[in-house]
Chain A
Amino acid sequence: MSITLDIKKRFRGFALDISFSSNGRPLGILGASGSGKSMTLKCIAGIETPDSGYIEVNGRVLFDSAKKINVRPQRRRVGYLFQSYALFPNMTVTQNIRAAIIGGKAEKARRCEALISRFALQGLEKRYPAQLSGGQQQRAALARILAYNPDMLLLDEPFSALDAYLKEALQIEMKKLLAGYEGDAILVSHNRDEVYSLCENLLVMDEGRNIASGPVRDMFQRPGSLAVARLTGCKNITPARRAGFALVEAPEWGLTLAVESPVPEGLKYIGVRAHDFMPAGESTVNAFDIHVLDCVESPFEWNYLCHSENAPGQNGTLWWKAPKELRNMAPIAAPPGRLCVAPQNVLLLE
């Protein structure tokens, strides 16, 4: 189970130039909108043709510009779950699923029935897509894709059309599906939570390029670069320089912070996630005085916009997320005047 890909494609004001390979475990592609994520999936599925390059799935060459190989989408055996699910509006659930099954009547009926019960679509067989909820549509679309027995699954922003409640339930279903699926799977998303909970490996795309990849937890713990830190949701990023073996200086914040590992020579920025700040006492490591500029309440946390007292200018604003108890509705009367960050939570970025 593997995919090897190395493609180039230019179009109006944008160049896609990406290569990666996967090892059979679910791969997440994280990127801002317009970073070329969906285009990459479309090239794998054969909907778009790269200008040049090579695509191989499970040892089967799907595209090779050097040898002029370009397998038709119908023959690629690549399942594509579209953002809108793309169920045929004029066909019922059963007809949608059957359209993907190759075989005789008995075979079609048998496999369609198996998929309907696997995806809990009983009772909805005769419904048209417009009569289904978002979650039911997604299940019907997945059933139709698996009816075709694809070698790999491409999931293009599968949860973006759903509301928050359904999203979490369907993520669990999707996780089960991926765990039981033998082929490769690629999930494209701009949502770090989806990628984190569903994928083992992560690839970060920016302006059509693969800028970083690795196991998903490592990527969140050690983003390594500015773009990856931003896409994985780091809210506080500031220019920084090396100030010692394990010491960095952030001039805009007016702080010198201890870090856990040796500071690389190429250090350009440091980042601290908003929930990694803690209220601090007098003697804590990496502590500094702040004053709170603004405060936004959300159901389970306080979001403080703070300013470091040490900062020389107006640029040193920091986001601090403090968990709260829902019942304790009163805002913290006097938020702490001092915050700290543990050395292992200072992200070193190049």
Chain B
Amino acid sequence: MDISPILISLKTASLSIVITFFSGILAAYLVVNMKNGKLKAVIDGLLTLPLVLPPTVAGFFLLYIFGVQRPAGAFLLNFLGVKIVFTWGATVLAAVVISFPLMYRSARGAFEQVDETLLYAARTIGMPEWKIFWRVLMPPALPGIVSGCILTFARGLGEFGATAMIAGNIAGKTRTLPLAIYSAVAGGNMDGAYEYVVILAGIAFLAVVGINCLTVKERRCKGKGAAQ
């Protein structure tokens, strides 16, 4: 068995979760604090769009933006010497774009569930905003954010459509697990596909079990408080 798809997939999903974790939380924090209701709805729609679009459509847009014949792609290639399409970077880009809405929406939901009088109280006792973020907003939002993280990681790991569009299917370079499974099946190698499928399903199953454990733990904490 060629283990390169497993490594490429884990590398891609790991880097993309780091990127989506910070950008998703930042975007959620900014959107939650937006005052203008209409602008908020539009921005929220744009940030969520990759979740509801077919991944091939998202991949098409990415190709349209970063293709070497396109202004953005040409700029990156000519001035920074960076080529995105059909490189490992493109697999990360595809995973980030597709899985970002999951992180963003989970974080947004988690932030919105935090009682806003806690934030008001923190301000009126002089806590600076960064401290409020870390010590008042984040702790109650954390279980929601962590389960969002796991979903996001699993989604990044399973990304196929957009990756195929922008990164291609280059063995040892951009061939991730889902693409390896597709290629194996297309080449009639059902046994090879089977191995990859078991590995991918195992990782996804662990992720879901992880979420459930977290939810149970959270419920137990709340119960302890109420029992007093």
A, B from the same assembly:
yes
Give me the interface of A with B, judged by CB distance under 8 Å.
42, 45-47, 72-80, 82, 84, 86-91, 99-100, 102, 128, 130-132, 144-145, 147-148
Known: A45-B120, A47-B124, A99-B127. 5 other contacts (CB 8 A): A79-B124, A86-B115, A86-B117, A130-B228, A147-B125
Contact between A144 and B140, CB atoms less than 8 A apart = no
- Complex Cα distance, B122 from A145, in Å, reads 10
Closest partner residue, chain A, to B139 (CB atom): A90
Whether B136 sits at the interface, judged by CB under 8 Å, is: yes
Task: Identify 11 residue pairs between A and B in the complex whose beta-carbon atoms are under 8 Å apart, listed by A's number.
Answer: A45-B124, A47-B123, A74-B123, A80-B120, A86-B115, A86-B118, A86-B120, A88-B136, A99-B127, A100-B127, A147-B125
Chain B residues lying within 8 Å of A148, measured Cβ to Cβ, are 124-126
Asked if B128 CB lies within 8 Å of chain A CBs, one says yes
Judge whether B72 is part of the interface by a CB distance below 8 angstroms.
Answer: no
Chain B residues within 8 Å of A145, by CB: 124-125
Q: Cβ of B226 and Cβ of A73 under 8 Å apart?
A: no
Chain B interface main SS type: helix
Asked whether B135 lies within 8 Å of A88 as measured between CB atoms, the reply is yes
- Of B120, B135, B139, B226, most buried by chain A (CB within 10 Å of CB) is B120
* Contact pick for B120, options A47, A77, A87, A130, CB 8 Å: A47
Q: How far is the CB of A75 from chain B (nearest CB, A)?
A: 8
Given A89-B140, A90-B140, A131-B228, decide whether A73 and B117 contact each other with a Cβ distance below 8 A. Answer: no
Give Cα distance in the complex from A78 to B124, angstroms: 6
Interface of A is mostly: loop
A64–B128 Cα distance when bound, in Å, is 23
Closest to A128 in B: B225
Alpha-carbon distance between A79 and B115 when the two chains are bound, in angstroms = 19
| Contact call A73/B120, Cβ cutoff below 8 A | yes
Contacts of B125 in A (CB 8 A): 79, 99-100, 144-145, 147-148
Q: CA A82 – CA B121 in complex, angstroms?
A: 8
Docked complex Cα distance between A147 and B125 (Å) = 8
- The distance in angstroms between the C-alpha atoms of A72 and B122, with both chains bound, is 12
Bitwise, B104-147 to A at CB < 8 A (1) or not (0) is: 00000000000101101111111110000001100110000000
Q: Is the beta-carbon distance between B127 and A80 smaller than 8 angstroms?
A: no
User: Which residues does chain B contribute within 8 Å of A73, judged by CB atoms?
Assistant: 120, 123-124
Alpha-carbon distance A144/B117, docked complex (angstroms): 15
Could you tell me the distance between the alpha carbons of A84 and B118 in the complex, rounded to whole angstroms?
10
**Contact assessment for B135 and A99 in the assembled complex, using a CB-CB cutoff below 8 Å:** yes
Question: For residue B135, which residues in chain A have a CB less than 8 angstroms away from its CB?
Answer: 88, 91, 99
> Which residues from A are CB-within-8-Å of B139?
90
Query: Measured between alpha carbons, how far is A79 from B224 in the docked complex, in Å?
Result: 30
Closest Cβ neighbor of A75 among chain B residues? B126
A130 is contacted by which of B121, B124, B140, B226 (Cβ under 8 Å)?
B226
In the complex the two chains form, what is the Cα distance from A320 to B115 in whole Å? Answer: 44
Which of A46, A77, A79, A89 has most chain B Cβ within 10 Å? Answer: A89
